């Protein structure tokens, strides 16, 4: 199992998500940390990955032991440009 770490910005964004969606996002991240399975794609043109959880996107980096969440928010046209 990988350790999940939130940047300060990602933690603030996560706190703004409604409680029901926050639980779904956390469950999806936990499942990915344990099994490596989820709706995850490598970002094109830059390092990192994105996970799709309903209308939300989590942009993250990972190594062998850690998942570093960089951005959590609703999908918009600027989601991948900002982070």
Residue in the structure block whose two tokens are 């399975």: 37
> Domain 3-75, what architecture?
2-Layer Sandwich (3.30)
pLDDT score at 45: 86
d(CA 29, CA 44) in angstroms, rounded, equals: 21
Confidence of residue 82 (pLDDT cuts 50, 70, 90): low
Mind listing the pLDDT tens digit for each residue in 20-71? 999 999 999 999 999 999 999 999 988 999 999 999 999 999 999 999 999 9
Residue in the structure block whose two tokens are 């990955």: 49
pTM (whole model) above 0.95: no
User: What are the structural domain ranges in the chain?
Assistant: 3-75
User: How big is the CA angle at 18 (ends 13 and 20), to the nearest 5 degrees?
Assistant: 125
């Amino acid at each position: 199992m990988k350790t999940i770490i939130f940047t300060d910005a990602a933690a603030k964004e996560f706190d703004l998500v409604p409680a029901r969606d926050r639980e779904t996002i956390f469950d999806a991240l936990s499942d990915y940390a344990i099994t490596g399975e989820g709706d995850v794609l490598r970002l094109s043109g830059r390092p990192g990955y994105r996970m799709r959880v309903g209308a939300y996107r989590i942009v993250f980096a990972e190594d062998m032991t850690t998942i570093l969440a960089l951005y959590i928010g609703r999908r918009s046209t600027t989601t991948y440009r900002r982070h």
